[in-house]
Amino acid sequence: MAETISRAVPVPSPDRRTEEAATGSLISYVLPVYDEQDGLRRFHRELLAATATRPDLEYEFVYVNDGSRDGSLQVLRELAEADPRVRVLDFARNFGHQIAITAGLDHAEGDAVVVMDTDLQDPPAVSIEMIDAWRGGAEIVSARRRTRRDTRFKRLTAHSYYRLLHNLAEVDIPVDTGDFRLLDRRAAEELRGFRERSRFIRGMVASMGFQQTEVLFDRDERAAGETKYPLRKMVRLAADGVTGFSTAPLKLITRIGFLSLGLAALGILYAVALRLFFPQITVSGWTMIMVVMLFLGGVQMLSLGVIGSYIGRIYDEVRQRPLYIVRKVIRHDGG
């Protein structure tokens, strides 16, 4: 289905990971779950079927129950009871997709870590291609969507957003790539060091460097249930991507500032000239004053808004609240 393409500069010597050396390696799956009770069993079945095609590797499955309100936790308990390789982190409430992934990464112990959604939109078979690319020497393997089957609105907004972000961001964030990704142990360790609160993980990964490769895939529809990313959450994530990895809004203010200053200077000259040379009609300058004042007022309000959004981020960071609270770690032995 998907083909492997190499994006970055020439593949370096696959130092330690030859086929044999990787045998016996532990692969961790980080699997965020929010209200997925209807599709979860099928997802796990398909994931097991996929991993069974590489029996020379060890696996652990780290599910993160992100405060599901449905029966997802019960399903996860059953999966953990049936298989010692399954671990479940049960969040005390819904902390959001990006935080759920972060918690899973913190608890994953593998030589490579695969992050994927649990609604079967990220096909388990593609993760096997990622593992093969990792064995070939790649340190980070991202899955890039060749096609996606979402609503027209989602496709359109996602398409434009990824391209806008790609142009604005100071790091090279690949287009049409979500959080479906494999990270080598080293890369995963580095990613754990990013503790910022407004999290845009694909940006952090892009900013880390390492040997990065892509696999292309066709994104399926959700197996069951509906999207947990309503417009509100999508907009927040999109804003985190821009403010977290670009200062374009700040630069824009500076530009507008200079422009308004220039216009103001012209306006002042005009008003003064009018007063000096045509004193009999200066009353009409009232219009001018109103225009300038309104214009400056608008610019100032806009500037305050953007500065405010950065102050908001500082506020978030300064509070240093825990990123998440794990109520319990569920293991095979029920402990």
Query: Which residues inside 188-227 make contact with ligand UDP, applying CB under 6 A?
Result: 227
181 binds, among Mg ion, ligand UDP, none (CB under 5 to 8 A by kind): none
Q: Which two tokens stand for residue 322?
A: 């825990």
Sequence-distant (6+) residues with CB within 8 A of 221 are 121, 149, 150
Which residue blocks in 169-213 are alpha helix, DSSP H? Answer: 185-192, 201-208
* Dist CA 49 CA 316 (whole Å): 42
* Dist CA 175 CA 170 (whole Å): 14
Q: What is the DSSP letter of 280?
A: G
Which residues of this protein are in contact with Mg ion, per CB under 5 A?
A: 117, 119, 121
Q: Rule CB under 6 A: say whether 127 interacts with ligand UDP.
A: no
Q: Which of 60, 66, 129, 139 binds ligand UDP (CB under 6 A)?
A: 66
Q: Rule CB under 6 A: say whether 36 interacts with ligand UDP.
A: yes
**332 to each of 32, 63, 110, 162, 249, how far by Cα in Å?**
19, 13, 18, 40, 49
32 binds, among ligand UDP, Mg ion, none (CB under 5 to 8 A by kind): ligand UDP
Strand order of the sheet with strand 212-219? 4-5, 212-219, 140-148, 177-184, 112-115, 26-33, 58-65, 86-91, 326-330
Task: Mark the segment that binds ligand UDP (CB under 6 A) among 31-39, 237-245, 271-279, 293-301.
Answer: 31-39
213 binds, among Mg ion, ligand UDP, none (CB under 5 to 8 A by kind): none
Q: Which of 6, 229, 244, 249 binds ligand UDP (CB under 6 A)?
A: 229
Shortest distance, position 62 Cβ to Mg ion, whole Å:
18
Q: What is the DSSP letter of 175?
A: T
Q: Rule CB under 6 A: say whether 25 interacts with ligand UDP.
A: no
Q: Rule CB under 6 A: say whether 94 interacts with ligand UDP.
A: yes
Q: Which of 32, 39, 104, 267 binds ligand UDP (CB under 6 A)?
A: 32
Q: Which residues bind ligand UDP (CB under 6 A)?
A: 32-34, 36, 66, 94, 96-97, 100, 117-119, 121, 227-229
